[in-house]
Amino acid sequence: MDSNNIKVSVIIPSYNHQLFIGKAIESVLSQDYNNFELIVADDCSKDNSVKVINSFTDYRLRKFFLIKNLGATEILKFLIKKSRGKYIALLNSDDIWYPEKLKKQVEYLDNNKDVAACFTHANFLNEDGEVYTNKCSSSSMSLDIFNQYNRSRGSWLNKFYYSGNCLCHPSVMIRKIIYDELGYYNGGLRQLPDFDYWIRLILKYPIYILEEVLVNHRILSKSGENTSASTDENCIRDKLEFSSIIQMMMENIDDSIFIEGFKDNFIRKDAITKEELFCEKYFILLNGCLWGDVSRDIAINIYIKNIYNENIIKCFKEVYNYSYIDFYKETGRNNDLLDLPAKKVLAKAYFIVDNKFLEDNSLIIDDIKQDNDNFTYSFYSNMNSSGVRIDLIDGLGILVENISAFINDNPVSIKALNSISFDNKEIFCTLDPQYHIDINIKKFDHIKIIAQNIFFLNSTNVQIVDGEIIETDVFNQTISELIVKMIDRETELIKNNIDRETELIKNNIDRESKLNQNIIDYENLIGFKLIKKLNQVLIKFKMKS
């Protein structure tokens, strides 16, 4: 193959995926398009991945076996530097491409020189290679999260801000010159390096979505080995990294792109001056994003940094009627970045038109009043619709004892979409609890939801055992396994108590024994001294006599 005429470099970073790496390679080598090189780099796998890779001998395949582990972002940098093609396409070592993927993306990029990267839709696979037909059990992502339509650059950034990453990394084909210009993936990010890169990319260039499924993206739900698995550590890092990425986005977004993407979220729709746009950016950050309050700290920091900019402070006061006193209220409000759900409820409303949830016309419900475990959600419709879906809590399983809904203060029926009913309660064993109001809603109608006794569930899988709600960390656990687990736990507690009591008794015996020995020793010592004294007296008496 002439290295000077290679059109596409396909890169596969490999690490401990012996069960999947073979199918990933096969899906590339069986593409309808042929002008590509396939570069595979194994990052010191501890399983038989190297053996699987070496079983392939295709002339288009280049193999690298690293002697020192680089990690996810550094190995991508290594592979990109080794690439010789005009375009780069990435495939994870546990994912699979459809045969026509490369051909269709090459044709599009060849014919659209202004587009920097091309993505596709994707399905989700489990470990056994089966396509998910309902929500992934180990992830809060919906099945169609990667099945996006095309948007303007500003609309993409708005989508990222309020909904997070929705572009499938192993679906991308990107011009190599983009990496030369923007640099590589941020090595400080474990969860969201691709999300960070898409924002950096769209801040400068347009992208395109081929609206058809050309990738099978695998979620390792049993082992939780990849970053898509919904573990506690991954969720914590998600929030921290998301905050950092959003700050970067807001600091670098052009005014025209900001207006085009976020105008519908402005307080003043006619904001145009530099100072007005700064204020609008502040209020958007202050009012929350995908992760609720995580953007609030960014807002507070940029306000403080610009406190000496007289024009900005004047604009806050005169145009937005926002003073230092209002700002102090924000800085005095409690906010815990890592315990977000308990402090701030992120809720959304999706209006329904033609039996579809219109995500781009969704609302962040920011008027939420909390009284202990009771919540009142209040918002206005932004369009005519045949109904509305209400997501009371985002990213947590919940239990709701009672809920009621009102439109313009008139009671209406509301029903749960994805709950389990038990003992007159609704249990949502999902990270995406949803309610549905089936009634025609007009623009500007006022909607109020009152939810009583919302309890947060620590896991997303709940079972009912002997009339009690049991939360489990392992999915699909049987009741018998739960009972065994509970018996083992009780046995361990009893054993620990016995060991503790035994230790206390032993310590008491040792202490008593030591005390008795001290008394004996003391008595012996006194006796010895008394005898010694008597002997001295007797000796003196004899000497005198």
pLDDT tens per residue across span 117-156:
999 999 988 887 777 765 544 444 567 789 999 999 999 9
Do 26 and 150 have their domain in common?
yes
The pLDDT of 286-315, averaged and rounded, is 89
User: Which tokens hold the place of 298?
Assistant: 């960014």
Do 206 and 318 have their domain in common?
no
- Rounded-to-integer distance, Cα 483 and Cα 174, Å: 52
To the nearest whole number, what is the mean pLDDT of the chain?
Answer: 81
Q: Output the pLDDT for position 394.
A: 63
Q: Output the pLDDT for position 353.
A: 82
Do 314 and 376 have their domain in common?
no
> Angle at Cα 419 formed by Cα 479 and Cα 217, nearest 5°?
85
In a domain, 254, yes or no: no
In a domain, 244, yes or no: no
Residue 464 — very low, low, confident or very high, per pLDDT cuts 50/70/90? low
476 or 540, higher pLDDT:
540
Q: Output the pLDDT for position 497.
A: 65
In a domain, 238, yes or no: no
Last residue of a domain, one of 195, 217, 239: 217
Side-chain half-sphere of 465: how many Cα atoms within 13 Å? 15
Q: Output the pLDDT for position 38.
A: 97
pLDDT digits (tens, 9 = 90+) for 77-129: 999 999 999 999 999 999 999 999 999 999 999 999 999 999 999 998 888 77
In a domain, 236, yes or no: no
Do 320 and 353 have their domain in common?
no
| Residues 10 and 37: beta-carbon distance below 8 Å | yes
CA atoms 104, 106, 109, 111: torsion sign: negative
Q: Output the pLDDT for position 340.
A: 39
Q: Output the pLDDT for position 493.
A: 63
Last residue of a domain, one of 477, 494, 523: 477
Number of other CB atoms surrounding residue 414 within 10 Å: 19
Instruction: Give backbone dihedrals phi and psi of 218, rounded to 5 degrees, phi first.
Output: -95, 135
Do 356 and 407 have their domain in common?
yes
Do 450 and 498 have their domain in common?
no
- Closest among 346, 286, 348, 294 to 320, alpha carbons compared: 286
User: Which tokens hold the place of 485?
Assistant: 């687990």
- Rounded-to-integer distance, Cα 128 and Cα 224, Å: 14
pLDDT digits (tens, 9 = 90+) for 321-356: 998 888 888 887 655 444 433 334 567 888 888 777
Do 76 and 169 have their domain in common?
yes
Read off the CATH number of the domain in which 83 is found. Answer: 3.90.550.10
Q: Output the pLDDT for position 477.
A: 38
pLDDT exceeds 60 at position 541: no
210 or 466, higher pLDDT:
210
Last residue of a domain, one of 176, 195, 217: 217
Do 472 and 331 have their domain in common?
no
Q: What is the dihedral of CA 450, 453, 455, 460, to 10 degrees?
A: -60
In a domain, 334, yes or no: yes
What is the DSSP pairing of strand 36-42 with strand 61-65? Answer: parallel
Q: Which domain holds residue 457?
A: 345-477
470 or 138, higher pLDDT:
470
The pLDDT of 453-479, averaged and rounded, is 53
521 or 24, higher pLDDT:
24
Domains in the chain, number:
4
pLDDT exceeds 90 at position 362: no
| Residues 377 and 365: beta-carbon distance below 8 Å | yes
Do 48 and 107 have their domain in common?
yes
In a domain, 503, yes or no: yes
Radius of gyration of the chain (CA): 33
In a domain, 229, yes or no: no
pLDDT digits (tens, 9 = 90+) for 428-461: 776 678 889 998 988 778 899 998 888 766 544 5
**β strands within 419-494, DSSP E:** 420-422, 425-428, 435-437, 446-457, 461-465, 468-472
200 or 527, higher pLDDT:
200
Do 37 and 184 have their domain in common?
yes
Task: Name the least confident of 127-141, 275-289, 293-307, 366-380.
Answer: 127-141
Residue 205 — very low, low, confident or very high, per pLDDT cuts 50/70/90? very high
pLDDT exceeds 60 at position 227: no
pTM of the model: 0.63
Do 139 and 94 have their domain in common?
yes
Do 179 and 114 have their domain in common?
yes
72 or 497, higher pLDDT:
72
Task: Tell me what percent of the residues of the chain surpass a pLDDT of 90.
Answer: 46
Q: Output the pLDDT for position 396.
A: 64
